[in-house]
Structure 1
């Protein structure tokens, strides 16, 4: 693999972990990937930023959107990259409990980046499970943080979840 500056020429990916307590964004170079090639360890992080809550159920849509915009812009700034370098954005955000939640946040991100950028929005539990299974996305995850949720996927794609509905069902996130 070439140097970090060689990776920058291909573009970058933003990964966002959006929670009720804090939101973290990392900016990484776009790396060639295939099923038989191992990713470098540690993964090269070009920029990292931390901000407050991005769960719109807790702070409202405007504040959540501003937090997501802020944390992505700061990670890009620290990486010395512009918005035009972004090739993909993956967001795992607490409070994304329904396809309408996904669509709302997807539209926010589409307003920031050009149309050719790939965008994925999921509940933060899905992102946690994907990270723990190296992307295989089958198994179970339990998040017991500011809020709580358990999520599971079978290899055939069936899924189940418990909790994670926020204050509506008593998960006050304190």
Structure 2
């Protein structure tokens, strides 16, 4: 989380100086639960202020771009958490992280399309007249198959299929087991369901990439399909908003 100065919006330096910074785990309550998400946000705000040497009382506005914020009910949930911590005069702005990602590549102008490929994936677009559309970004169960979680989940499935004799043999089997310190694909069952958090599963993506680079066809197909899914999500947003043309701005964000 960056802490930026906004005391005089009419005379801001470009680029803006970074006053403080903090890093933490996931704040997506759909993945880690509301209690963990709230604790993460409170911790990271406190650490960013501390890193900047700024007291909480000096805060005038907070703008958060968060994964998992998909509609007004989600925004109200986060606003409720912040209102219990900051006084009423502090201005609060809550958006999906895709909105912040798009703005970061357009100097704040919400026009164009952004693709985020990380633990999850989402494509989000805006028109100049304020219309917006999104594709994917609904979590792994509902089809973020171009995401890190989707890639890793398909790799784990491929390992189990190879182990059962339902699918082709793959380097993913030995490489994933070695990376996790396991001796048999059967142990993947316990490992997976002991903590099926999205980020934990997605952390296997580098293993999949390494296997693909070493010529494993199964790993290569998983990555190829993931890229296709990401492209489809961008195409869906562009078509719905009629954004296609030479003037299309497309921002790409990788968060693995």
TM-score range, shorter chain: 0.7 to 0.9
Matched, 1:45 2:18: yes
Cα offsets for 1:52-111 (capped at 9, x unmatched): 110001100000000000000011111111111000100000011111011101111111
* Structure richer in strand, relative to its length: 1
**5+ long unaligned stretches in structure 1:** 1-24
Choose the corresponding residue for 1:81, options 54, 75, 92: 54
TM-score (norm 2): 0.55
Partner of 1:103: 76
**Paired residue total:** 147
Partner of 1:116: 89
Aligned pairs (5 A) from 1:6-155: 25-34=1-10, 39-155=12-128
CA RMSD in angstroms comes to 1.3
TM-score (norm 1): 0.80
* Structure richer in helix, relative to its length: 2
> Matches of 1:142 and 1:66 in 2, distance apart?
28
**5+ long unaligned stretches in structure 2:** 150-197, 203-256
- 67-76 vs 163-172, which moves further: 163-172
> Matches of 1:167 and 1:133 in 2, distance apart?
29
3-state SS, counterpart of residue 62 of structure 1: helix
| Contact 2:98 2:116 survives alignment (8 Å) | yes
Pair member with larger Rg: 2
Partner of 2:230: none
